[in-house]
Amino acid sequence: MNIDQILCAPFEWTEKIYPCSADKEYPHLRSYFHGRVIEVFCRGGRWGQYLLSNGHIWSGMDVDAQILELAFLRGLFSVSVGLLPLKDSCDMIFAPMAPFSMIAHDACDSFIKGIHEALSSKGTVLFALWEQPDVQIDTPLMYTYNGQEKLVMACSVEVSGHIATLDMEWMVVKETHEPYFVQHTEKRILHHAEDLRRQFAIYFSDVEILTIVGRQWLFAKKT
């Protein structure tokens, strides 16, 4: 299970242990970007920083005000708290951080409809997909970071139906300080890629599931 694609809390730690995938993925995604790009669930703005540095018109949104503080620290001020962009406000909606892991099954239709309404007449969508309900979890996951402070995160995952429960324990070690431990539990939602494709096809004329640099993306055109 690729939990590095969803960026759980505490965000300032997970950003350190999960490298941003933009360097690796952007060259393969470059041709999809056009016009005014809004990134939903933009998290701390790492992709936004990369897109702006490559000349794109970018703004970001996230439902979590706390993580947007990291975007401000990066000098990204075109961010706002919210789930959906305003109607006709953009040409592309981008989401590299597995947005549907935070959208309940019974909320998918209204979310996709809102995405459709936010786009201009020739707007497109590029959303990263996450794990599906049949994902296999064999062993606990572990990540480490060695900087001014050392971080070790162990994560066990339990899947029940369409819900993945991530039970994380952090060990934090700072120089001259005793190690301390922090526990965090987070639930994420699992969707079948084909179910999402069918739901998008209700509103969009062209919907594809693509595999790019080892992970699945949903691409959709408004007209």
Token output for 116: 């459709």
Specify the CATH number of the domain 141-189: 2.20.25.110
Residue whose C-alpha is closest to residue 107's, from 133, 80, 84, 132: 84
Q: 25 in helix, strand or coil? A: helix
d(CA 152, CA 142): 7
Give start-end residues of each CATH 3.40.50.150 domain in the chain. 3-132+191-221
Give start-end residues of each CATH 2.20.25.110 domain in the chain. 141-189
How confident is the model over 106-132, as pLDDT tens digits?
999 999 999 999 999 999 999 999 999
Q: What is the pLDDT of residue 7?
A: 86
Q: Which CATH class name applies to 3-132+191-221?
A: alpha beta
List all residues 6 or more positions away from 45 whose beta carbon is below 8 Å from its beta carbon: 60, 68, 70, 71, 74, 76, 79
d(CA 86, CA 117): 8
How confident is the model over 81-99, as pLDDT tens digits?
999 999 999 999 999 999 9
For residue 99, give the DSSP letter: G
Which stretches of the chain score pLDDT less than 50? Answer: none
Query: Could you tell me the CA-to-CA distances from 150 to 8, 140, 145, 146 in Å, in that order?
Result: 18, 19, 6, 5
